[in-house]
Structure 1
Amino acid sequence: MSDAPHLTFDLDMPGVSRGHLVVPGGADHGELLLPVFSLNKGEGPRLLVTGGNHGDELEGPIVARRLIEWLPGAQMCGRVIVVPVLNPLALEAWSRNTPLDGLNLNRVFPGRANGSITHRIADAVSRVLLPMADTVFDLHSFGPKWDCLPAATTHPIADPDLMARTVRMAEAFKLPLTLVWPHNDTAGMFDITAQNQGKVFVCSEFGGGTVGADNLAIYEAGVRNALIALGLVEGKADYPIFRHQSFAQTLETRLSDELKSPAPGIFEPRCSVLDEVKQGDLIGILHSMNSLSAESIDIRAPETSIVLAIASGAHVDANKVVAYVARPLKI
């Protein structure tokens, strides 16, 4: 095992700095260098922006690179650290998980210094970068197989003050959706590690499917809105237009709102994101691949709700999520 994780430059240096976060090598992979951008303008908010946590979600790295382009001419105070790609090995393979060890980076935080490469990436980020920030924006998307509302999300947080501050920060993105989203597998998630340290952490889910110019403009506007709310840049926030309409709601979802395929087959979506559905409305149909005589299976809304994400038409295994629904948040 090589030296401890470290930066190749001093974050406290005024102005723009560029360098790398050094992830130490191990038996499975040599030393890994993650490009890091920093703009330090003295007193003020301390923000960490990361992308590429999952290698098949390309919107985050693209928006992070756009941010680096215009931030030097716009930032007024504070410090912003940008890491466009947290997991370059997964990105190169266009994979959610790291190919070398098969691990999901967003399930191994805070990582281990003596673990496999995914654990060592998480350890380097947790030990070197996370202490430098008060607020974290982790830029995700639903990936290529989903249609999803652009959303700023958080999980339920036990501390009511941190929960309120986090929801307000998420709403400041002014994306079409602000979502409080419980997970049943939160162990090892980046946001849990940050929230345990009292930091405001917003995970943006920048849509899904095709990575196109129109959607990227919405995602970039959302990040800029959040920077304005933090006081890092000047300007007037705006609600981006999504699919020819201005839409902004704060919703919550439950584990029961994960609509799953009861059997393997081809999923056919029968509604779109933003659709309002009532109990029993058709969300999609599952078609058997093994028999033309077998009846297709309807997947229906459990109650009155809004469709926030739906899978593209594709083969799915049994018990795989094919749609998410949600309803207005009540605090």
Structure 2
Amino acid sequence: MREAPHLTFDLDAPGVSRGHLLVPGGADRGELSLPVFSLNKGEGPRLLVTGGNHGNELEGPLVARRLIEWLPEEQTCGRIIVVPVLNPLAVEAWSRNTPLDGLNLNRVFPGRADGSVTERIADAVSRVLLPTADTVFDLHSFGPTWHFPPAATTHPIADPDLMARTVRMAEAFNLPLTLVWEYNDTAGMFDILAQNQGKVFVCTEFGGGTVGADNLAIYEAGVRNALIALGLVEGKADYPTFRQQKSGQTLETHPCDDLRSPARGIFEPRCSVLDEVKQGDLIGILHPMDSISTESMDIRAPGTSFVLAIRSGVHVEINEGVALVAGPLKI
């Protein structure tokens, strides 16, 4: 009989517990042990905090470890479970996907007990950790070739009550941006699984792929703000300063807001994240490199909007994303 995934400690035990989520082995590799921290202070919200879903987004694991350092002194009620690294194989390889099977952990939920290692991780998280929480914070960043403002994000949710509660929770981070993000590639996502179970799930996107002290301070402050809003930590929330501003805005983006390269070449950004642009304003320039005689191509704003994300001067293929714009939330 195949061993079931399980925790090595009792979640109901009061106080601090440290142990592992054991992910059973399979044909491709042996058992995995994911370090888990739990602080149980009785009645109150039940929160799950995860990082390292994608292995090349390292801000999440770092903020999760910072959280573990100060929670024992500051948590006042409820239970918080922290898993700094969901996919250690991808984190060790600094890879978005798991090197062993090539799968994206955030596209295979709820996973399979008899599947490959990525699917078994998703199965263990879905069966052991997700049922323990009513709220989930999944800590991401936007990847190493993009600029993206610190943001708390969600997807459109059919249940209007859950949608409203999720947006309010995302706004409670007081990050520079709260984003309702509609796009087509959502099958197998961790947040879709949780939201289908009626849970509030907020995905934080923590900038680009370069880990810096200033950005980490913003991200940590945002998580603290959200814990205060949940009533798990006492204190006064604040807006972290980003680009000399202490304010946030709530936007939405759709698949048509994804600007793509018209050809192969090097993308040169000509604006910054959260810049407000009008129709026809220059977003960036695509410089073809396979012919000197081929003119560079302007990429312009399709309408009045805010620059949400922009590629960081990289070589791109035809039809590859180079920028993303957004407008005010209408729901």
TM-score under structure 1 normalisation?
A: 0.99
Greater alpha carbon shift after TM alignment, 39-48 vs 314-323: 314-323
Supply the RMSD in Å over aligned alpha carbons: 0.8
* Match runs of 1:268-287 below 5 Å: 268-287=268-287
Q: Distance in 2 between matches of 1:131 and 1:118?
A: 19
Q: Distance in 2 between matches of 1:227 and 1:247?
A: 19
Kept in 1: contact 2:55–2:96 (CA 8 A): yes
Amino acid at match of 1:276: E
Counterpart for residue 100 of structure 1: 100
Kept in 2: contact 1:251–1:329 (CA 8 A): yes
Q: Distance in 2 between matches of 1:102 and 1:289?
A: 30
Kept in 2: contact 1:266–1:315 (CA 8 A): yes
Amino acid at match of 1:77: C
Q: Distance in 2 between matches of 1:2 and 1:55?
A: 27
2:227 pairs with 1:222: no
Counterpart for residue 250 of structure 2: 250
Q: Deviations over 1:1-36 (max 9, x none)?
A: 741100000000000000000000001010000000
Q: Distance in 2 between matches of 1:103 and 1:289?
A: 32
Kept in 2: contact 1:147–1:310 (CA 8 A): yes
CA shift, 1:209, in A, is: 3.6
5+ residue gaps, structure 2: none
2:166 pairs with 1:166: yes
Q: Deviations over 1:307-327 (max 9, x none)?
A: 111110010111111111111
Counterpart for residue 211 of structure 1: 211
2:303 pairs with 1:303: yes
Q: What's the % identity of the aligned pairs? A: 84
Kept in 1: contact 2:56–2:209 (CA 8 A): no
Counterpart for residue 314 of structure 1: 314
Amino acid at match of 1:249: Q
CA shift, 1:247, in A, is: 2.7
Amino acid at match of 1:225: N
Amino acid at match of 1:129: L
Kept in 2: contact 1:2–1:26 (CA 8 A): no
* Match runs of 1:168-187 below 5 Å: 168-187=168-187
Counterpart for residue 260 of structure 2: 260
Q: Distance in 2 between matches of 1:243 and 1:144?
A: 20
Amino acid at match of 2:9: F
Q: Distance in 2 between matches of 1:325 and 1:3?
A: 47
TM-score under structure 2 normalisation?
A: 0.99
